[in-house]
Structure 1
Amino acid sequence: MLDSLDLKLTLDKETYNREIEALMQQLRSLQKDCWDHKLPVIIVLEGWAAAGKGKLLQKTIGYMDPRGFKVHPILSATEEEQKYPFLWRFWHKLPPKGSFGIFYHSWYTHLLEDRLFDLETDGSIPLLIRDINAFERQLGDDAVAIAKFWIHLSKKELKKRLKKYESDELESWRVRPEDWQQAKEYDRYAGFAEEMLTYTSTGHAPWTLVEGDCQRWARIKVLSQVVATITQALDRLRLPKTDIPSLPPQTELQPTEPDFLDKIDLGLHLLKDDYKQQLREAQVKLRQLQLQIFQKKVPVLALFEGWDAAGKGGAIKRLTDTLDPRSYQVHAFAAPTTEELNYHYLWRFWRQIPREGTIGIFDRSWYGRVLVERVEGFASELEWRRSYKEINEFEAQLTASGCVIVKFWLHISFEEQLKRFEERKNNEFKSYKLTEEDWRNREKWSLYNVAVNQMIARTNTPYAPWTVVPGNDKYYARVHVLETVINAVETEFKKRYLSLQYNLSREQ
C-alpha cells in the first residue's frame, strides 16, 4: 500500500500559494456551517516523525475561529490514564456538536510507537483494532465527520529532516530519541503502519495516504480532503431524514422471543432473622474483597436497572454499607443534560467508569437507550436498534481491560409496584420519590416489559451477563445482589490466578 505512493510528487510555490488561500477560505466558511448544523468533526494526523504534521496543523487552524476547535497532542498515556481502558482518554477528548477535535497523533499510537517499543504485544493488536473500528463506527453512525491522514516519507527524507531539525537550535528540542528509532527501524515501523492502514480503513473512517516528501503537496492534499470530508458530511445532514419504517409499538413478545421476566419466581423470600444474618455475612465478605480489589487493581462495575420502586436504592445502600467510601463511587443517571446531548450517548458513561482497584455503582445506565429512550420516543428506531451492538462492544472493551461487570434487573410484579406506590404516596418521608412520571411509566408496563426482555436477549453476553433479581421480597433481593457481586469478583480473581499459573508454566 505505502510502496504504491509516488513520493516524487511536488507542487510549485506559485500554485501552492494560490490553492492554499482558497482552501483556507473554504475551511473557515465550513467551520461556520458545522456550527450551524451541529456537526462534530474529528481530524486525525498520523505519519512519520518530521513529516510536517506540526506545520500542517498551524496552517489548518490559521483561518479558523479558535473558539470552535481544540487541538489534542497525544503523548504516552499518563499513570492515571493507564488505570482505564485505552480508549477512555480519547472519549474524554471528543468534540461536542459543532466543534472540531484535531488529534496530533491519536488512538493509533497504540498500534505504532507503543508497538515499536514493545509496550503493546502482537497478541494485543487484533483486540485494539477491533475496539478502534467499533469506536470510529459508533462515532460515524452518530454523524461525526472523521478525516484520518497518514503522511508518508521515504527513508532517505526521514533521516534528512531529522538531521536538519536536530541541527536547528529552534527545532532541535522537537527531535526525540523515539524519532531516530523510527528511522533506525524504518521497515519494521512501515510494516506496523501497513497493517494499521489495512485493518482500520473503513467506510466510516477511511484513511487518506499523503505523499509527504514535498510539504507543499502534502498540505494541499490534506486540506483538500478535510474540505471534501466536511462538505460530504454536511450534504448528508441536509438530506431528508430516513429511518427504519416505524412499526407499531410492540406490546407483546412474539412466540419466538423468550420471556426472561416471566420465568422469575417472585415468591422467593427470606425471614427477617435469616436476612440479617446472611446480609451481615455477605457485607463482611465484600468488605474483605474490597481490599483484594484494590491490591489486584481490578475495576468492578455494578449497574442497576429495574422497575420504578423495585428497590434499586435499597439494594445499593446495603451493597455499600460496609465498604470503604474512598474506593467506591455511586453514580445516579437521569435524563441527559444539555451538555451531554452534544455527544454520543455513551460519552457520559465512559467518563464515569471505575478505574482499576475501585468499585463503580451505576443507578441506571446506558440501557436507558433501549428502555426509556425507546419507549418514550427520545431515540429513533434506527438509533435504539443499533445501540444493542454498541453496548455489547462497550462492555467487551471494559471486560477485555479486566473490568468485572455485574448487571442487575430488579424485577417486581405489577401488583407489587402498585402497593409500593401507594405506600410512598402515604409516607411523608418517601412521597418525594413518587412522581407523575412514575404513574405514566406504569401505564406503559407492557411496552417496557417487551423492551426489557429484548434488552436481556440481545445484551446477555458471557462476559457481561444479566442477573434478574426477584424483588417482591426486598430482603431476598438485597442478599441476592450482594452474593452475585461477591461471586463475580471471586470468579475474576480465580481466572486471573489460573492465567498467571498458565503463563508461568509456559515460561518454564
Structure 2
Amino acid sequence: MASDKQDELRFQLLSAQLELARSEDRAVVVLVAGHAGTGKGHLINRLNHWLENRLTEVQALVPSEDDRRHPYWWRYWTRLPPRGRIGIFVHGWVGDALFAGAARRLGEGALADRLQEIVTFESDLRAAGITLVKLWLDIDVEVQGQHLAALEADPETRWQVTEEKWQRHSQHEAIQQLGQQLRKTTATDESPWLCLDASPGSDLLTPVVEHMIAAMEGAGRLTETTARPVIEHSVLKAVPQLSDLAEHTGAIGKVEYREQLASAQAQLAELARRAVWRGIPLVVVFEGHDAAGKGGSIHRLTSALDARTYRVHSIAAPSEQELRYAWQWRFWQRLPIDGSVAVFDRSWYGRVLVERVESLIDEPEWRLGYHQIVDFENQLLSHGTVLVKLFLAINSDEQLKRFKARAVTPHKQHKLTDEDWRNRARWDDYQQAIDEMLAATHRSEAPWTLVDANDKRRARLAVLHEVTARLADRLQVDQ
C-alpha cells in the first residue's frame, strides 16, 4: 500500500516537472538548508532519482576564485535555472549567512544587512517567475551528535563525517537561533519555509515531494509587482534633467580637440593600469539618445585601455536563450572580474526606457525595475566596483541632422535603422522616461553624469574626464 502511494506521488512529481518543461513559463529553485547530519545529500539523491534529472541541476557551491572576484550574488544569479528547469541548491545563500554568523565572520549588523539582501534576492526571483521551494531540516543537538558518531564508527559511512560537520555540531545552538531569525525574516506567503524533523529514520522524501508538487502546480507565473517603498536617495547634488542642456556649449576646434584628447587618454591610461594592479573592477554604462555618439565615445575611451583588460557589451533585445531567465541574468553574466573593465553600450536601464516606452512590460514591472536596478548597483558598489553612468544627450534638431547624414553616407548607413525612426516618433515619451529614470536612480554613490553630446568632440572629452575623475577618486590620487 505504501509502495502504491509512493508510485503515485512520484508520478505526480514527474508530471508536474514535465509540464514545467513543456510550458517554460517559470523555473523552480529548491533550497535545502539546515543542520549537519540531517541527510541532505541522501534526500537530494533520492529526489533527483525521482525527477527527470536531465531537466534538473544540483548546485552545492564551494566558492571558486572566479566567484570571489565578482560581487557576492554573482555566484547565484549566474547559476539560476532557465524557465522549464529545476535547480536544487544545497545550503546556498542561506548557508552562507548562517555559517558566517555562527562563526562570527559576520557581525550582528552585517548579518542583518545580509538577511535583507536575501529578502531582496528572493523577491526578485519571484518577480522573475521563479517558484522558490525552501526546506529546513532540523535535528536535536544530542541526536545530531549520536548520529555523527555512529556514522563515523562505521567504515562504510565514515567518509560522510568531516571536520566541518563536527564544527557545525559545536555551533548547533547558534545555527538554531540564527536559523529561526532567518526563517522569520525571509518567509512569505508565496515562499514559506517547510521545516522537517530530520532525525535518523524520518521520512523526508514524502513531505518534500508533496510540498514541491503543491508549489509547482499552484504557482503559475508569480510576478511580484507590489509597490516597494519609495527609493531613498543620498543625493549630494541636484538630479540631472534633460532640460539642463537647453543651452549647450559650442563646438571645439580640431587642433585643440586632438591635443586635449591625447592628454585625457594618457591620464586615463595611467589610472586604469593602477586599477588593474589593485584589482579594482570598473563598469562604465553608456545610455543616450539615438545618434548621440555613444559608439565614438566608447572608441575613444577604450583606446586608452589595455585590450586584454576590457570588454564592450552592446546590449540589444534579449536573445531567445536570455528570455528564459530573469531579466537581470544577462547583466550579471557580463560583469567584469576584479581588475577588469566592462563597458555597456546600453544596459539594464533598457528595463525602464525602451521596455517601458514600447509597452514590452506592464507599468508595475517597469516601476519595480527602478528598485531592482538600485539593488543591482548596490551589489556592484558593495564589492568595490567603480560604477560610472553616462547619459549622452542631444536635442531633436541635432538628432534629425545626424540621421539624415547617416542616410547618405555609405559607411554609416548601417547605423540608421527603422527602429531609430520609430524611436524618434516617440521623442516626447522617451524624454519623460529618461527624466523619470534619472530622478529614480541618481544617487550620490551611483550618480548619473549628463553629457551634452550636441558637439561630439566635447562629449568625448567629457566622457574621458568623468571616468578619469571617478578612478582618481577611488584610487585617491590627484589628477
**TM-score where L is the length of structure 1:** 0.87
Change (3 A) 1:138 1:287: same
Give the whole-Å Cα distance in 2 for the aligned partners of 1:447 and 1:46. 47
Give the whole-Å Cα distance in 2 for the aligned partners of 1:440 and 1:111. 48
**Cα drift, residue 196 of structure 1:** 2.1
Change (3 A) 1:214 1:242: closer
Match for residue 57 of structure 1 among 44, 47, 50: 44
Instruction: Quote the residue 2:248 is aligned against.
Output: 266
**Cα drift, residue 199 of structure 1:** 2.1
Instruction: Quote the residue 2:319 is aligned against.
Output: 337
Q: Does 1:133 align with 2:114?
A: no
Give the whole-Å Cα distance in 2 for the aligned partners of 1:277 and 1:428. 29
- 1:143-187 CA-partner distances (Å, limit 9, x unpaired): 210011110110112112212222333332222211000112221
Deviating beyond 6 angstroms after TM superposition, the runs of 4 or more aligned structure 1 residues are: 241-244
Give the whole-Å Cα distance in 2 for the aligned partners of 1:177 and 1:404. 39
Instruction: Quote the residue 1:415 is aligned against.
Output: 397
Give the whole-Å Cα distance in 2 for the aligned partners of 1:343 and 1:282. 40
Q: Is the 8 A contact 1:137 1:205 kept in 2?
A: no
Q: What amino acid sits opposite 2:470 in the alignment?
A: A
Q: What amino acid sits opposite 1:494 in the alignment?
A: Q
Give the whole-Å Cα distance in 2 for the aligned partners of 1:277 and 1:217. 76
Matched residue SS, 2:449: strand
Q: What amino acid sits opposite 1:440 in the alignment?
A: R
Aligned length: 465
Instruction: Quote the residue 1:348 is aligned against.
Output: 330
RMSD (Å), alpha carbons? 2.3
Q: Is the 8 A contact 1:243 1:381 kept in 2?
A: no
Change (3 A) 1:164 1:214: closer
Change (3 A) 1:110 1:243: closer
Give the whole-Å Cα distance in 2 for the aligned partners of 1:396 and 1:259. 20
Q: Does 1:43 align with 2:24?
A: no
Q: Is the 8 A contact 1:266 1:413 kept in 2?
A: no
Matched residue SS, 2:476: helix
Q: How does 1:185-200 map to 2 (within 5 A)?
A: 185-200=171-186
Q: What amino acid sits opposite 1:108 in the alignment?
A: V
Instruction: Quote the residue 1:498 is aligned against.
Output: none
Q: How does 1:466-485 map to 2 (within 5 A)?
A: 466-485=448-467
* Worse-superposed segment, 271-280 or 99-108: 271-280
Q: How does 1:289-368 map to 2 (within 5 A)?
A: 289-368=271-350
- 1:367-417 CA-partner distances (Å, limit 9, x unpaired): 111111111122222221211111111111111111111111100011111
Stretches of structure 1 lacking an aligned partner (at least 5 in a row):
1-13, 245-257, 496-508
Give the whole-Å Cα distance in 2 for the aligned partners of 1:489 and 1:274. 25
Q: Does 1:392 align with 2:379?
A: no
* Worse-superposed segment, 106-115 or 427-436: 106-115
- 1:212-249 CA-partner distances (Å, limit 9, x unpaired): 11543333222221122112203x67xxx9999xxxxx
Q: Is the 8 A contact 1:147 1:229 kept in 2?
A: yes
Match for residue 469 of structure 2 among 475, 481, 487: 487
- 1:434-479 CA-partner distances (Å, limit 9, x unpaired): 1111111111111111111111111112221111100001111111
Q: Does 1:403 align with 2:385?
A: yes
Match for residue 202 of structure 2 among 205, 216, 240: 216
**TM-score where L is the length of structure 2:** 0.92
Q: Is the 8 A contact 2:240 2:450 kept in 1?
A: no
Q: Is the 8 A contact 2:30 2:89 kept in 1?
A: yes
- 1:268-323 CA-partner distances (Å, limit 9, x unpaired): 54333332222222211111111221222211100101111100011111111121
Q: Is the 8 A contact 1:44 1:105 kept in 2?
A: yes
Give the whole-Å Cα distance in 2 for the aligned partners of 1:394 and 1:324. 27
| Percent identity over paired residues | 35
Change (3 A) 1:186 1:170: same
Q: Does 1:276 align with 2:258?
A: yes
Stretches of structure 2 lacking an aligned partner (at least 5 in a row):
227-238
Give the whole-Å Cα distance in 1 for the aligned partners of 2:198 and 2:349. 45
**Cα drift, residue 192 of structure 1:** 2.6
Q: Does 1:31 align with 2:12?
A: no
